[in-house]
Chain A
Amino acid sequence: MKTLLTTTFIAIVLVAFSAPVQAKDDDFNSVVKMIEQFYKVKHQGIPFLATAGMKVATTAARIKGGQAKRIAEAGSIKLAVFEDQAFDGDFIKFRGSLNGALNLTWTPLIQTLSATDEEQTYIFLRSAGDKFNVLVITIEPREATVVQVTVSPKNLALLLKDPEGTGKAITQEATILDQE
């Protein structure tokens, strides 16, 4: 009895205090790879975007008539784009895999799925010092984007007030340079 109790106690302590180790800083790449493996697709790399946050913001503001509000912190944008490829697959299964991979380090803020339009949008959050990381994944029948940005507390407030609208704005802000 004593051994059983001790073993149970040790097991509970171990479960409570040992979170599996994950490559926290590399979750963006993990998500991109996960999409590639699940849907058998390939992303188009845009390496200069990683340091082009300021330019992106300026461009976005210009296109929107100078009034656009910048959401991402300068230089914080990570972007992977998948264009003109088929995203055929069980999205419920994909959602399960994605949540399973990210749930320990990220909080899933909002997830929208459309079976008829075959569209999926996921927004995850995590704190990063005094700022916050936002990961927005959008998958449509023929294209997908994965965007990770860092936002200030003020812009996190915007995201919490309007998760869907601000999530779209983040993706738009990140991809607008690519459209030029």
Chain B
Amino acid sequence: MNSLFHTNIRQPLMVLLLIASSTLIANAQDSRIQTASLDHLAAKASESVDVNVDERLMKMAAKVFSDQDADERKIKKLVEGLKGIYVRSFEFDASGQYTDADLESIRTQLRGPGWTRMVNVTSKKDGKLEVYLLFHGDMVNGLAVLHSDEKELTIVNIVGPVDLDKLAQLEGQFGVPELGIESQKPKAKNEQ
């Protein structure tokens, strides 16, 4: 019996284990947008910003925000469950510094399974704003914002359960730029 396990079962079991673990890793990371293809733009940009609030930092954040302070309590609730906030932004002095191929390297990922484009606004003044959500069943497990202007390119990627309202509240914090995303939550009377 022992030798049967050694020869017939153990090897396939090991292979299965390896496949299962790599699938788990892939699932955990598929809402993370890879932006390394844009690295070369930093050499042309008047300013490039790269923000990485990864899972380790999100866990730290959950611990360091106080429950006593109303503002911090709000932020703590906001980042609860999030696994990462990543921002890449580039500002250029002249137009035409990035190409369609650069944008395509991001959009290709956002055409993958589960991703749905929820917002697609183009304006002459503000450029093109696209917001994508990653659905796993009914759950939203990730969000990506792609904002492209003549002289600007910004990618915001939030990993974990998130929606447009959360994104709107995160603007200006954790390195997330002001994107002009309107909060969907109706304002309280005293806030109006």
Contact = CB atoms under 8 A, between A and B. Distances in A.
Interface residues of A, number: 32
B72 interface: yes
Contact of B61 (A8, A9, A92, A157): A157
B64 A157 contact: yes
A64 interface: no
B48 interface: yes
B49 A112 contact: yes
B135 interface: no
Contact of A1 (B11, B18, B50): B11
Interface size class of B (residues with CB under 8 A): 20 to 34
B94 to A, nearest CB: 10
B15 A115 contact: no
A154 B66 contact: yes
Contacts of A12: 18
Interface in B64-80: 64-66, 72, 75
B49 A9 contact: no
A140 B49 CA distance: 16
B60 A109 contact: no
Interface in A141-180: 153-154, 156-157, 160-164
Contacts of B46: 114-117
B102 to A, nearest CB: 16
Nearest to B49: A112
Contacts of A60: none
B47 A114 contact: yes
A109 B60 CA distance: 12
Given A113-B45, A164-B175, A125 B50 contact: no
A108 interface: yes
A115 B11 contact: no
Nearest to A156: B64
B163 interface: no
A92 B43 contact: yes
B175 A163 contact: yes
A116 B93 contact: yes
Given A109-B51, A115-B43, A154-B64, A160 B18 contact: no
Contacts of A114: 45-48
Contacts of A156: 60, 64
Given A1-B11, A114-B45, A164-B175, 18 more contacts: A107-B52, A107-B57, A108-B52, A109-B53, A110-B50, A110-B51, A112-B50, A113-B47, A115-B42, A115-B48, A116-B93, A132-B60, A154-B66, A156-B60, A157-B61, A160-B57, A163-B51, A164-B49
Interface of A: 1-2, 5, 8-9, 12, 91-92, 95, 107-117, 125, 127, 132, 153-154, 156-157, 160-164
